[in-house]
Structure 1
């Protein structure tokens, strides 16, 4: 790594804007319990991610329009006449109209459990600082008196969501933004930038250490509230990677994570794009690595085009979702599939339909997904490999309308005794070749429309 801390940080990052920490900078935990929990995490394969807050009312990207420095891309959906100052005022006032009275957490949890999701990653607080739990640190919260939802029986949204998913056996990952653009401890009016805003604090923490210390204590208190009052949490998923000691924004994360682990010793932490001992999981965003990664990782990818709810969004097809999941798993990771709930608390009918389509596929082929591990050569063209308990599973993916071949090449060495189709015929004919084995498909498999994939079980 470079002697320059900012350059060192850049050296750790891969894949540009949607970046993630490189595998070589992953630090293996020493605690046996955390190592055990990482194996649990690697077994899960599919999580449901949910970005939700007052911003869903606008159908814009979450939080980012508040940052003037990011306005060139984050305000492309702002189609009403408004200047930057007024836009920020309007955005921060969205809590006064957020009233998702059709929110039914049990329906969300039922949908996830029935369709193969194994854990939830829920946004307890995004960069805008609005808290989706009953925090005592700020009135800018879902249970605050300014928010009309505060009298509802489900007012503490985070508690009700976590309880519903946990009751159905799903793990809990708590998304938490380390940056907070609402608190005056981070964006302080009248500082050096005037009214201009960027993703970092409005002051230099080195020049105002007492103010920065208030922000550190504020952040610690919020994290410990979640760790104390909201049941078992499996992963603390920390966003806003620019809040770290490389950028002189040291919130003493190790201190608060260690306190959290006194309460919940099994807690994994994902300090995104920062590296070091508190980034137990590497988290690519809206992208897949081009190679297999041999340490725990999770790619967060949207079901539509946006993490937050977008009106008339374009959702990925079931075929695309299955292909994404297969590629992620074959490269050693988990897929956190993001769905943005509507302002009223429901999921869109199209989102539900696609989730159910993915679940129907997993109901047949899930044995080749859950609990699997990497298997060299990992992938070749549209063929992907995984292994579990002495069995190798090979996926052959097909595009819409593709002609299914009579024979399929599998990039495996010889020495196998049987090849079956998961969910189909067993004891398929196969022969060894110089580059693997060639399997003959049953005649009925080569007729009609191409399936999403053929899944072979090789022993």
Structure 2
């Protein structure tokens, strides 16, 4: 049963329709410099090993799914260990599904009883992670779904039946959303809010704009993704109109986003196949993980890389180990990822490129390559070419409009530094 919201709060929430100031360029530049973050999809559904939200009313009946919270007791959850896993992986921010499409809240909310306080565990997951992130120097971020198939006032009650409920009232639901989001902003001070679910028909672009303005009135510098609105690249990797976007950056899903030097974007990927934990789910190899990270950075985007913790609160040891391998690679090659821009060469399946100052970093993605040919950068010449981390010299020539590199086959992705005779940050993407 939902807790009541006062009439005064109802009026205050509905009256917030001011035009919001977009997040500043400096704040967004700081976000994009981080390049690599941890996504965490977790909730009572881990008890069944099925997908969060989407399995409700399909693999798991609504009646069963909606009662799982009564069994949810992750006694081995340790926020510091989760954050250490992120930090050891080289991740700079962490985003937790505080509330997914199923409506369950991982924090003790004053506005619903369908939350962590009603479980046998009872402790505040969101609060523990916020505290652990602050202690470790990791930016704390919150995922919150626009839709809620559990809430009686949200018109759609199942992903698999889009018939609107005539008894529901979307305006009352928006009041509830605003109350919860104010609660999250006030209590946990997130760096970024990651919305999802705005594609369903009951939610309109105008509602998204109003919500964006409302959140900015509470915390002007909070970063907000673009899923409050309808203009998103999503799984189709659509080319979108940045001017029509509601939010600060685009969110391609399970695909590396398009090269874009003007609009910030962040691709989200799963380390396995499912977002939530699944027993024996196939995990990506280290080469696959690095390919995604490097190609994303080469396109000038961030990577939000997802893990799904187990029902007892632990992240699987094999996932922790894979992330640590990524972190070890970043210990050696991080200067080619963090604080760089994509380009000046568009990424391919053979290589990606990032840049900083007078250096171009060539990420060799196809490690059996022995020859690589790149376009020349107009007005610039190579002074030096070497492998990042080992300083091993790389043979090169620059003639007839081409840069030719002679490579040594390797077992794992590596980075070649092209030290140019001047700054390359203004060079157009080729």
| TM bin (shorter chain) | 0.7 to 0.9
Question: Structure 2 regions of 5+ residues with no counterpart?
Answer: 1-18, 232-243, 421-430
Q: 1:322 aligns with which of 280, 290, 300?
A: 290
Q: How does 1:311-350 map to 2 (within 5 A)?
A: 311-350=279-318
8 Å CA contact 1:398, 1:453 repeated in 2? no
8 Å CA contact 1:142, 1:156 repeated in 2? yes
Residue in 1 aligned with 2:222? 267
1:33–1:130 CA distance, 2 compared to 1 (3 A) = closer
8 Å CA contact 2:257, 2:266 repeated in 1? no
Residue in 1 aligned with 2:398? 432
Q: CA deviation at 1:376?
A: 2.8
Matching of residue 223 in structure 1 with residue 189 in structure 2: no
State how far apart, in whole Å, the 2-side matches of 1:64 and 1:380 are: 33
Residue in 2 aligned with 1:185? 153
Q: CA deviation at 1:336?
A: 0.5
Residue in 1 aligned with 2:124? 156
Q: How many residues align?
A: 387
Q: TM-score, normalized by length of structure 2? A: 0.83
Partner SS for 2:67? helix
Q: CA deviation at 1:420?
A: 1.9
8 Å CA contact 2:307, 2:319 repeated in 1? yes
Q: CA deviation at 1:120?
A: 0.7
State how far apart, in whole Å, the 2-side matches of 1:336 and 1:157 are: 20
Aligned-pair Cα RMSD in Å: 2.5
Q: CA deviation at 1:431?
A: 1.2
Matching of residue 257 in structure 1 with residue 212 in structure 2: yes
8 Å CA contact 1:422, 1:457 repeated in 2? no
State how far apart, in whole Å, the 1-side matches of 2:376 and 2:329 are: 25
Residue in 2 aligned with 1:450? 411
Residue in 2 aligned with 1:365? 333
Q: CA deviation at 1:163?
A: 1.5
1:243–1:378 CA distance, 2 compared to 1 (3 A) = same
Q: CA deviation at 1:357?
A: 0.6
1:397–1:435 CA distance, 2 compared to 1 (3 A) = farther
Partner SS for 2:73? coil
Residue in 2 aligned with 1:420? 386
Q: How does 1:382-421 map to 2 (within 5 A)?
A: 382-399=350-367, 402=368, 405=370, 407-413=371-377, 415-421=381-387
Q: How does 1:32-431 map to 2 (within 5 A)?
A: 34-67=24-57, 71=58, 75=59, 87-144=61-118, 147-150=119-122, 155-186=123-154, 198=160, 202-203=164-165, 211-230=169-188, 232-243=189-200, 247=202, 249=204, 252-272=207-227, 274-275=230-231, 276=244, 278-289=246-257, 291-292=259-260, 294-399=262-367, 402=368, 405=370, 407-413=371-377, 415-431=381-397
Partner SS for 1:271? coil
Q: CA deviation at 1:289?
A: 3.4
Q: TM-score, normalized by length of structure 1? A: 0.78
Residue in 1 aligned with 2:12? none
